[in-house]
Amino acid sequence: MGLDLRYEYQKLVKDSKNPPDFKKLFTFKINFQYDSRDKAFIPTEGVLLSTYLESNLVPSSDFISYSKIYFAYSQTASFQSRHSLSWGFEVGAGDETMPETEMFSLGGENNFWGMREDQSRGRQILNTTLYYNYRVPVKNFFDINFSLILNSGRTWLKPETIKLSSFREGIGARFSIDTPLGPFSLSMGKSFFISQKQIIWSSLLGYLSIGVNL
């Protein structure tokens, strides 16, 4: 459990010809995390719980003002020694004053498969994950894993637009090697959504990562 204070100058540049002025940000964050996983990368058992509440400290028009809350939970269990299954979700909500720089996001290898990093952003988020992993029985110095992942979720800008029918799904497969210097991971994913009883697929995306995700 911890308390974080943050003081920043922020600006979001969308037009280089007319850049906005910097805005001041001064917030506090109360956060809590519980982690009983045996490994941070592809665990075989354990629970990860993370939550926080963040809000501004200075109620002034000179400072960015917003509040948001976030909660994430995942659990992993193993069966037949080489198989493991993880499931979890993340949910977050912010008020209407939350600026674009502080919004929740979906996309990327460690967040939502078949989408680019930060592809979807909003003041509300719901993301569910189902993750199957198989540890390959090959004699080697390092663990070799093959994984299948399924995501379902969405971000929204306003609470009144939240609908289960607007959810987007993502599927992916990953080959990884857990080395002492950090994991080497090669994966692919696609996302899709249903529109008028038709499945609309995204293009196939590839992901390559080396080292620990901080």
Q: Kindly give, in sequence order, each residue whose CB lies less than 8 Å from that of residue 81, ignoring residues fewer than 6 positions away.
A: none
Q: How confident is the model at residue 139 (pLDDT cuts 50, 70, 90)?
A: low
User: Per the domain annotation, does 4 fall within a domain?
Assistant: no
Burial of 153 (0-12, 13-18, 19+ CB in 10 A): buried
User: Per the domain annotation, does 12 fall within a domain?
Assistant: no
User: Per the domain annotation, does 20 fall within a domain?
Assistant: no
Q: What 3-state DSSP class applies to 128? A: strand
Contact of 166 with 157, CB cutoff 8 Å: no
Domains of the chain: total: 1
User: Per the domain annotation, does 17 fall within a domain?
Assistant: no
- b/e for 5-17, b at 16 or more Cβ within 10 A? eeeeeeeeeeeee
Give the pLDDT confidence of 79-129 residue by residue, as tens digits: 988 999 999 999 999 999 899 989 999 999 889 999 999 999 999 999 999
Per-residue pLDDT, 55? 94
Question: In the predicted model, what is the mean pLDDT of residues 149-169?
Answer: 91
User: Per the domain annotation, does 10 fall within a domain?
Assistant: no
| CATH at residue 132 | 2.40.160.50
| Nearest alpha carbon to residue 23 among 9, 37, 35 | 9
Domain containing 181: what range? 30-210
User: Per the domain annotation, does 77 fall within a domain?
Assistant: yes
Whether the per-residue pLDDT at 77 is higher than 90: the answer is yes
pTM here? Answer: 0.88
Per-residue pLDDT, 126? 96
User: Per the domain annotation, does 197 fall within a domain?
Assistant: yes
Structure tokens at 88: 């979890």
User: Per the domain annotation, does 16 fall within a domain?
Assistant: no
Task: Please tell me the distance from the alpha carbon of residue 60 to that of residue 5, in angstroms, as a whole number.
Answer: 17
